[in-house]
Amino acid sequence: QQAPSGEQVVNALEKQNGVTVGERRNHIVGVCVSGSFVGNKDAQAYSKSPLFSGDSIPTVGRMSLAGGNPKAPDTAKSPRGMALEFRLPENKIHHFTMLNVPVFGAATPATFYEAVLAATPDAATGKPDPEKIKAFRAGHPDVAPLGEYMAAHNPPASYATSDYFGIHTFKFTNQKNQITLVKWQFVPQAGVALLTDAEMTSKPPRFLDEDLMARTATGPVKWDMMLTIGLAGDEELNPTVYWPKDRKIMKAGVLTITKAYAQKGADCEKINFDPLVMSDGVAPTADPVLNFRSAAYASSFARRLTNQ
C-alpha cells in the first residue's frame, strides 16, 4: 500500500462530502469552548512540559462531530472530537486533538484513504456502494477494533458526558531526559452518559452545541486527565491496538470548560488543531497515522482559510 499525500486525502474527503466553502473538510460540525487546564505536578516525574507546572493554563478548544458532512445529525454513530489548545507561558502552545474512542479505525494513512474512497457516494446511485464497503472491510482488518467499539457504544448524550482519548502513543521526557511511553484519556467528572437506543431516534438533529452552552451557563464542566504509563515494548506505532489493561494510571490534571459558543467568527474557528504542535517534554512516536495528520490538517486549513 502506497501512502497517500495529505492533499490526496483531503481531495477524497471533498469528493465524499462535497465542499462547504471556508469550513473544515473533516469534523465540520463543531462548537468553540474555553476555560483552563491545571496539570498535576506529580506528572513532572515523566514530563518536563509546562503543562504540568501546576499553574492554570488558559485553554481554547473545539468539540466536534467526526466527518465532513455538514448535515450529519448529532445522533450519528460516528466519533466525537475534543480539540484543545493550551496557551502556555512565553507564547508557546500545545495541542491535544482527541476522539471519544480508545482506538482509531486505521493503522496507516492508506487504510484511512481507502475507507474514504469506499464510502464515497456512487455517481449513479448517489449512495456508497455496499459491495465496495464490504470489500474494503475484508481487505483491512485494522478497521475491526474501532468497529467493535462503536457497535458496543452509542454516541454520548452530551459532549460533557463523554470521555476523550489521545489514542496514539506519545513519548514523555522528564528533566533527567528519561523517556516514557504514555497514552492519555480525559474522563468527564459528570460521568459518562450515552444516548439510549430510544434517544438515538427521538433526539432532534442538533442538540449537542446548545446542551453544552446551557450546561456551561450554569457552571463549569470538568474532565480529569488520566495518564497511562507504558512499559518498554508497548505498542507505539499502531493506533488500532489496545495496551494491556494492567498499566499504571495516574491523574495528570483537570480541564475546566467555562464557556461554549458558536464557532462562526470565534477564536476556535481559525485554529488548525495540528496534533504535532507540542511543548518540550512531549514528543510524537513514529506512528504513521499521527505523523500523517499534520499534512492532512494543513491542507484542509489552507483551503478553508483561502475561502475554498
Torsion sign over Cα 43, 86, 285, 247: positive
Per annotation, catalytic residue among 27, 94, 95, 168: 27
Task: Report, in Å, the least distance between residue 178 CB and ligand HEM.
Answer: 25
Task: Report, in Å, the least distance between residue 198 CB and ligand HEM.
Answer: 28
Q: Which is nearer to ligand HEM, 99 or 160 (CB)?
A: 99
Write out the three cell numbers for 233.
Answer: 515494548
Task: Report, in Å, the least distance between residue 209 CB and ligand HEM.
Answer: 13
Q: Which residue is nearest to ligand HEM (CB)?
A: 81
Task: Report, in Å, the least distance between residue 152 CB and ligand HEM.
Answer: 19
Q: Which is nearer to ligand HEM, 44 or 111 (CB)?
A: 111
Task: From 91, 84, 78, select the one nearest 62 (Cα to Cα).
Answer: 84
Task: Report, in Å, the least distance between residue 67 CB and ligand HEM.
Answer: 10
Q: Which is nearer to ligand HEM, 73 or 288 (CB)?
A: 288
Task: List contacts with ligand HEM (CB under 6 A).
Answer: 9-10, 24-27, 30, 62, 64, 81, 83, 97-99, 104, 106, 109, 112, 167, 239, 272-273, 289, 292-293, 296-297, 300-301, 304
Q: Which is nearer to ligand HEM, 55 or 269 (CB)?
A: 269
Task: Report, in Å, the least distance between residue 102 CB and ligand HEM.
Answer: 10
Q: Which is nearer to ligand HEM, 57 or 101 (CB)?
A: 101
Q: Which is nearer to ligand HEM, 64 or 216 (CB)?
A: 64
Residue 95 designated active-site: no
Residue 245 CA to residue 232 CA, distance in Å, equals 15
List residues with catalytic annotation.
27
